[in-house]
Amino acid sequence: MAGKMILIDTSKCTGCRACQVACKQWNSLSAVPTRNRGTFENPPDLGYNTYTKILFNEVEKDGELAWYFGQHRCMHCEDAGCMKACPVPGAITRDANGAVVINQELCTGCKYCVFGCPFNVPRYDTKNAEGYGADKAFKCTMCFDRLEMGQQPACTKTCPTGALFFTEKARLPEIAAAAAERGLTVYDGGSLKTGVVFLLEDKPEEYGLPAKPAIPTPTFLWRTVMKPLGIAAVVAAIFGVIAHYSFIGPKDISEGDGEGGEH
């Protein structure tokens, strides 16, 4: 797919969270009142009004403090768990740029996507949030509306250090080679082929990313395996019953009583 990609070079991130602010501004998302929770991380979690959040991880490296900045946001997978889980036609779609977008006008609030996501991203809202009505799921849209106008997402546009970078997905091999020279590893979601790619200085877990990202096993079984299997089994059972009726026939006692009365 000739999609676009948001590149996150964690070695360049300073934790300024301008991306969080730009995201809220463009998407008209309300603020979450700040409370001291003993961490620089703020707000506490993704939500209907928070599509992206910088994670602060303090670690000791060579006897000194090192700060790893991760970003929790929709990864825009090519093999998307939310889309697999969604039961409503058109409620979650992927556009030509690779942006996976929830259409709140169609979302029915079933919450399947919330549990189908490998990265724990979509958030469900019970209130009448942002004027969409109650009971909808929300997440990052890759600013698909900006992309349609030939612009880049608000977060990459605003990033002052170049940690967030918007480019063609096709450039990944060349970027990966350059990153390897700088000792960075590429995190692209493996088989999920995420549209958000991290360049990491350490293990994925240090940045709040699953080491082996995959669509949750029960979700895969539920959506991909059970449906065709179930339909096939039900059709087979119906044909089995028809076959029994046709070839063996009903067990009619009134006519079978005379000859088969061995009891």
Partner 1 sequence: MAEKLVKRASPVQRLSHWIHMVAFIILALTGLGLYARSFFGLTGLFGGVDVSRTIHHFTGIVFFVTTFIIFFQWAHAITAKGEDNMIDVARSYLDHNFHAPAGKLNFGQKLFGMFAFVVGLVMSLTGFAMWFPFVLGRGLQQWMYFLHNLCFIGFFLFIIVHLYLGTFGNPGSWRIMTVGTVTEGWAKAHHPKWDTEDG
Binding site for partner 1 (CB under 8 A): 86-89, 108, 110-112, 114-116, 120, 216-219, 221-223, 226-227, 229-230, 233-234, 237-238, 241, 244-245, 248-254, 256-257, 259-260, 262-263
Least distance (Å) between residue 164 CB and partner 1: 27
Nearer to partner 1, 60 or 257 (CB): 257
Nearest distance, CB of residue 235 and partner 1, angstroms:
10
- Cβ distance to partner 1 smaller for residue 47 or 153: 47
* Residue (71 or 219) nearer to partner 1, CB: 219
Nearer to partner 1, 64 or 252 (CB): 252
Smallest separation, CB 128 to partner 1 (Å) = 15
DSSP-assigned letter for residue 8: E
Nearest to 137 by CA among 188, 192, 81: 81
Bridge partner list, 198:
8, 187
Convert 106-123 to b/e letters by CB count within 10 Å (16 or more is b): ebebbebbbbbbbbebbb
Distance of alpha carbon 79 from alpha carbon 15, whole angstroms? 29
Question: What is the closest distance, in whole angstroms, from the C-beta atom of residue 85 to partner 1 in the complex?
Answer: 8
Q: Are 145 and 240 in contact (CB under 8 A)?
A: no
Q: Which is nearer to partner 1, 15 or 208 (CB)?
A: 208
Least Å from the CB of residue 256 to partner 1:
5
Q: What per-residue string of b and e applies to 23-62 under the rule 16 or more CB within 10 Å gives b?
A: bbebbebeeeeeeeeeeebbbeebbbbbbbbbbeeeeeee
The residue among 204, 197, 201 whose CA lies nearest residue 173 is: 197
